[in-house]
Amino acid sequence: MSNCIFCQILSKEIPSYTVYENEHVYAFLDITQVSKGHTLIIPKPHVKDVFEWTPDIASSMGEAIEKVSKALKKAFPNMQGLNIINNNGERAYQSVFHSHIHLIPRFPEQDGLSITFEPHSPMYTQEEMHAIAQTITQAF
Ligand SMILES: [Zn+2]
Protein backbone atom coordinates (compact mmCIF):
# COMPACT_ATOMS: atom_id res chain seq x y z
CA MET A 1 0.00 0.00 0.00
CA SER A 2 1.53 3.28 -1.12
CA ASN A 3 0.40 5.33 1.89
CA CYS A 4 1.59 2.74 4.42
CA ILE A 5 4.77 3.80 6.22
CA PHE A 6 5.96 0.19 6.61
CA CYS A 7 5.37 -0.56 2.91
CA GLN A 8 7.42 2.58 2.18
CA ILE A 9 10.16 1.20 4.44
CA LEU A 10 9.99 -2.14 2.58
CA SER A 11 10.36 -0.38 -0.77
CA LYS A 12 13.25 1.74 0.62
CA GLU A 13 11.35 5.01 0.04
CA ILE A 14 11.90 5.56 3.75
CA PRO A 15 15.28 4.51 5.17
CA SER A 16 15.46 2.10 8.08
CA TYR A 17 18.01 0.24 10.15
CA THR A 18 17.87 -3.37 8.99
CA VAL A 19 18.15 -6.08 11.64
CA TYR A 20 17.08 -9.17 9.67
CA GLU A 21 15.46 -9.96 6.34
CA ASN A 22 14.34 -12.95 4.32
CA GLU A 23 11.88 -13.33 1.44
CA HIS A 24 8.86 -13.26 3.77
CA VAL A 25 9.66 -10.83 6.58
CA TYR A 26 11.65 -7.73 7.38
CA ALA A 27 12.98 -6.71 10.80
CA PHE A 28 14.26 -3.21 11.56
CA LEU A 29 14.90 -0.91 14.49
CA ASP A 30 11.83 0.92 15.78
CA ILE A 31 12.65 4.61 15.40
CA THR A 32 11.38 5.32 18.93
CA GLN A 33 13.79 2.80 20.62
CA VAL A 34 11.77 2.29 23.78
CA SER A 35 14.88 0.38 24.81
CA LYS A 36 18.19 -0.29 23.04
CA GLY A 37 17.59 -2.77 20.22
CA HIS A 38 13.79 -2.30 20.10
CA THR A 39 13.02 -4.12 16.85
CA LEU A 40 9.93 -4.44 14.67
CA ILE A 41 9.24 -7.54 12.60
CA ILE A 42 6.78 -7.13 9.73
CA PRO A 43 5.44 -9.51 7.11
CA LYS A 44 6.35 -8.33 3.59
CA PRO A 45 2.75 -8.58 2.32
CA HIS A 46 0.65 -5.65 3.54
CA VAL A 47 -1.70 -7.16 6.08
CA LYS A 48 -3.43 -4.92 8.58
CA ASP A 49 -3.37 -7.10 11.67
CA VAL A 50 -3.23 -10.67 12.94
CA PHE A 51 -6.77 -11.26 11.68
CA GLU A 52 -5.46 -10.89 8.12
CA TRP A 53 -2.53 -13.28 8.65
CA THR A 54 -2.40 -16.49 6.63
CA PRO A 55 -0.88 -19.68 8.06
CA ASP A 56 2.22 -18.94 5.92
CA ILE A 57 2.56 -15.46 7.40
CA ALA A 58 2.10 -16.86 10.91
CA SER A 59 4.79 -19.42 10.24
CA SER A 60 7.33 -16.97 8.83
CA MET A 61 6.62 -14.43 11.59
CA GLY A 62 7.04 -17.11 14.26
CA GLU A 63 10.32 -18.20 12.77
CA ALA A 64 11.57 -14.60 12.60
CA ILE A 65 10.58 -13.95 16.23
CA GLU A 66 12.68 -16.92 17.30
CA LYS A 67 15.69 -15.86 15.22
CA VAL A 68 15.65 -12.16 16.11
CA SER A 69 15.03 -12.85 19.81
CA LYS A 70 18.10 -15.08 19.99
CA ALA A 71 20.19 -12.56 18.04
CA LEU A 72 19.19 -9.82 20.50
CA LYS A 73 20.15 -12.02 23.44
CA LYS A 74 23.53 -12.76 21.87
CA ALA A 75 24.09 -9.14 20.82
CA PHE A 76 23.31 -7.72 24.26
CA PRO A 77 24.68 -10.05 26.96
CA ASN A 78 23.35 -7.74 29.70
CA MET A 79 19.79 -8.10 28.40
CA GLN A 80 17.66 -9.37 31.29
CA GLY A 81 14.48 -10.10 29.41
CA LEU A 82 12.52 -9.51 26.22
CA ASN A 83 8.94 -8.37 25.72
CA ILE A 84 7.28 -9.52 22.50
CA ILE A 85 4.27 -7.34 21.87
CA ASN A 86 1.71 -7.26 19.06
CA ASN A 87 -1.14 -4.75 18.96
CA ASN A 88 -4.25 -5.37 16.87
CA GLY A 89 -6.72 -2.54 16.45
CA GLU A 90 -6.83 0.97 17.89
CA ARG A 91 -8.33 -0.31 21.13
CA ALA A 92 -5.20 -2.42 21.54
CA TYR A 93 -2.87 0.55 20.84
CA GLN A 94 -2.08 -0.33 17.22
CA SER A 95 -0.90 2.87 15.53
CA VAL A 96 0.55 1.64 12.21
CA PHE A 97 -1.92 -0.54 10.37
CA HIS A 98 0.60 -2.90 8.79
CA SER A 99 0.86 -5.83 11.17
CA HIS A 100 4.03 -5.78 13.26
CA ILE A 101 5.60 -7.42 16.28
CA HIS A 102 7.64 -5.39 18.77
CA LEU A 103 10.68 -7.04 20.32
CA ILE A 104 11.68 -4.91 23.29
CA PRO A 105 14.85 -5.95 25.12
CA ARG A 106 14.84 -5.21 28.85
CA PHE A 107 17.98 -4.11 30.61
CA PRO A 108 18.78 -3.39 34.25
CA GLU A 109 18.26 0.32 33.66
CA GLN A 110 14.88 2.08 33.41
CA ASP A 111 13.27 2.13 29.95
CA GLY A 112 10.15 3.46 28.29
CA LEU A 113 7.96 0.38 28.62
CA SER A 114 5.44 -0.29 31.33
CA ILE A 115 2.85 -3.05 31.29
CA THR A 116 0.27 -3.77 33.95
CA PHE A 117 -2.12 -6.69 34.22
CA GLU A 118 -5.08 -5.87 36.40
CA PRO A 119 -7.33 -8.83 37.17
CA HIS A 120 -10.93 -8.50 36.00
CA SER A 121 -13.01 -7.16 38.84
CA PRO A 122 -15.01 -8.83 40.17
CA MET A 123 -13.18 -12.11 39.43
CA TYR A 124 -15.07 -14.37 37.04
CA THR A 125 -16.73 -17.35 38.67
CA GLN A 126 -15.71 -20.89 37.66
CA GLU A 127 -18.97 -21.13 35.69
CA GLU A 128 -18.19 -17.92 33.84
CA MET A 129 -14.63 -19.08 33.13
CA HIS A 130 -15.99 -22.34 31.72
CA ALA A 131 -18.48 -20.46 29.53
CA ILE A 132 -15.75 -18.10 28.24
CA ALA A 133 -13.47 -21.00 27.32
CA GLN A 134 -16.36 -22.84 25.67
CA THR A 135 -17.32 -19.78 23.60
CA ILE A 136 -13.76 -19.54 22.28
CA THR A 137 -13.42 -23.28 21.71
CA GLN A 138 -16.58 -23.31 19.64
CA ALA A 139 -15.24 -20.51 17.42
CA PHE A 140 -12.51 -22.64 15.78
ZN1 LIG B 1 1.96 -1.80 4.51
Three-class SS of residue 3? coil
* Percent of the chain whose predicted confidence (pLDDT) is above 90: 92
Using pLDDT thresholds of 50, 70 and 90, give the confidence band for residue 52: very high
Kindly list the distances between the CA atom of residue 70 and the CA atoms of 27, 64, 76, 87, in Å, as whole numbers in the listed order.
13, 10, 10, 22
| Residues assigned a catalytic role | 100
pLDDT digit string, tens, across residues 82-101: 999 999 999 999 999 999 99
From ligand 1's centre to the CA of 82, what distance in Å? Answer: 25
* Percent of the chain whose predicted confidence (pLDDT) is above 70: 100
Q: What pLDDT, on the 0 to 100 scale, is given for residue 120?
A: 85
Higher confidence at residue 2 or residue 48? 48
From ligand 1's centre to the CA of 2, what distance in Å? Answer: 8
